């Protein structure tokens, strides 16, 4: 089963759920797909191996190019711009779709590797953990996310800790998953951002359940939203200083009996067997 964990905004508790669920379950791997700010590794120390991820960007042979503009017309990201004398390629804007190569009738387009980030791999108690990092200045971590997801795995389950918010990286994270855990911080601020994710999940028709996190007894915003929108509430986690203190020190919560009960409830609600 492939399970993505997402949130409307950073700081909702998505990472806490991801690393503790990974630690608690057997036969599972974890992918940290929050490539602009990966932090699952802080909770899961160990030896690691690192591989570079490249994107392929076009090189145009100006001696073969007839300046027909087909490549520039095709490129949805405006990465190829015609000038009076040549076709210019803006590496940073290229999304590595290889479409320009297909539309060029002159065979003028080849590709070169351009490093965009890294994938770190660790073995945590016999379970694979992958974490992607986008290099500073690069535009898109989609290739890093898809490369990690395509990495062969023999585990029964994969947990993908996705980026916060709604972006093309979120869509890449959600591609092909069986279930989504939406971690929502209780309160108006958390609700606004989570609502956009709910809209996206409904659009993509992916089954999901909500973890209502950092919930206070006197705040009913999240609970009301879940009821009004007929969402599946997996579990409500009350705000707890103990959890916050342990997490802020990079500790897992799986040793806490009360947190084990929370994880058991999530596992049951998602249907992980």
Tokens describing residue 205: 């028709």
Verify binding: residue 98, ligand SF4, rule CB under 6 A: yes
CA 108, 110, 114, 118 torsion: positive or negative?
positive
DSSP assignment of 5-44 equals EEESSTTSSHHHHHHHHHHHSSSEEEEE--TTS--GGGTS
**Between the CA of residue 140 and those of 95, 170, 193, 208, what are the distances in Å?**
7, 11, 21, 26
Verify binding: residue 81, ligand SF4, rule CB under 6 A: no
The residue from 3, 28, 80, 119 that contacts ligand SF4 (CB under 6 A) is: 80
**Contact status, residue 210 vs residue 233, Cβ threshold 8 Å:** yes
Verify binding: residue 74, ligand SF4, rule CB under 6 A: yes
The residue from 21, 31, 44, 60 that contacts ligand SF4 (CB under 6 A) is: 60
Q: Which is nearer to ligand SF4, 101 or 236 (CB)?
A: 101
The residue from 25, 53, 108, 191 that contacts ligand SF4 (CB under 6 A) is: 108
Q: Which is nearer to ligand SF4, 109 or 237 (CB)?
A: 109
Q: How far is the CB of 31 from ligand SF4 (least distance, A)?
A: 25
Pairing of strands 109-124, 127-134: antiparallel
Q: Which of left, alpha, beta for 144 (phi over 0: left; psi -120 to 50: alpha)?
A: alpha
DSSP 91: G
Choices 23-31, 103-111, 171-179, 216-224; region in contact with ligand SF4 by CB under 6 A: 103-111
Q: How far is the CB of 142 from ligand SF4 (least distance, A)?
A: 11
The CA distance from 211 to 125, in Å, is: 26
Q: Which residue has the tokens 């000038």?
A: 83
The residue from 1, 36, 39, 95 that contacts ligand SF4 (CB under 6 A) is: 95
Of all helices (H) and strands (E), which one includes residue 57?
A: strand 48-60
Verify binding: residue 116, ligand SF4, rule CB under 6 A: no
Candidates 59, 53, 99; CA nearest to 76 is: 99
Q: Which is nearer to ligand SF4, 108 or 263 (CB)?
A: 108
Verify binding: residue 204, ligand SF4, rule CB under 6 A: no
Verify binding: residue 87, ligand SF4, rule CB under 6 A: yes
Verify binding: residue 100, ligand SF4, rule CB under 6 A: yes
Q: Which is nearer to ligand SF4, 99 or 165 (CB)?
A: 99
According to DSSP, the residues that pair with 182 across neighbouring strands are 6, 210
Verify binding: residue 67, ligand SF4, rule CB under 6 A: yes
Q: How many residues does the chain have?
A: 273
Please tell me whether residue 176 adopts helix, strand or coil conformation: coil
The residue from 10, 48, 77, 252 that contacts ligand SF4 (CB under 6 A) is: 77
Verify binding: residue 104, ligand SF4, rule CB under 6 A: yes
Residues that bind ligand SF4 (CB under 6 A): 58, 60, 65-71, 74-75, 77, 79-80, 87, 94-100, 103-104, 106, 108-109
């Amino acid at each position: 089963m492939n399970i993505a964990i997402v949130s409307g905004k950073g700081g909702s508790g998505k990472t806490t759920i991801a690393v503790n669920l990974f630690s608690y379950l057997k036969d599972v791997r974890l992918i940290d797909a929050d490539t602009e700010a990966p932090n699952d590794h802080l909770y899961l120390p160990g030896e690691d191996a690192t591989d570079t991820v490249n994107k392929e960007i076009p090189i145009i042979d100006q001696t073969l190019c007839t300046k027909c503009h087909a490549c520039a017309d095709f490129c949805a990201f405006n990465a190829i711009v015609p000038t009076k004398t040549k076709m210019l390629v803006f590496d940073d804007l290229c999304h590595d779709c290889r479409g320009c190569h297909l539309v060029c009738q002159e065979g003028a387009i080849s590709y070169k590797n351009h490093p965009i980030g890294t994938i770190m791999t660790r073995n945590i108690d016999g379970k694979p953990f992958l974490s992607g990092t986008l290099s500073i200045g690069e535009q898109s971590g989609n290739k890093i996310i898809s490369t990690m997801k395509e990495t062969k795995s023999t585990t029964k389950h994969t947990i993908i800790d996705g980026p916060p918010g709604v972006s093309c990286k979120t869509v890449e994270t959600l591609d092909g998953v069986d279930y989504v855990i939406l971690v929502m911080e209780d309160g108006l601020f958390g609700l606004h951002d989570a609502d956009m994710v709910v809209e996206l999940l409904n659009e993509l028709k992916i089954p999901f359940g909500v973890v209502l996190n950092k919930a206070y007894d006197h705040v009913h915003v999240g609970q009301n939203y879940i009821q009004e929108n007929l969402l599946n509430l997996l579990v409500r986690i009350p705000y707890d200083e103990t959890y916050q203190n342990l997490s802020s020190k990079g500790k897992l919560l799986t040793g806490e009996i009360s947190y084990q009960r929370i994880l058991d409830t999530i596992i049951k609600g998602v249907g992980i067997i």
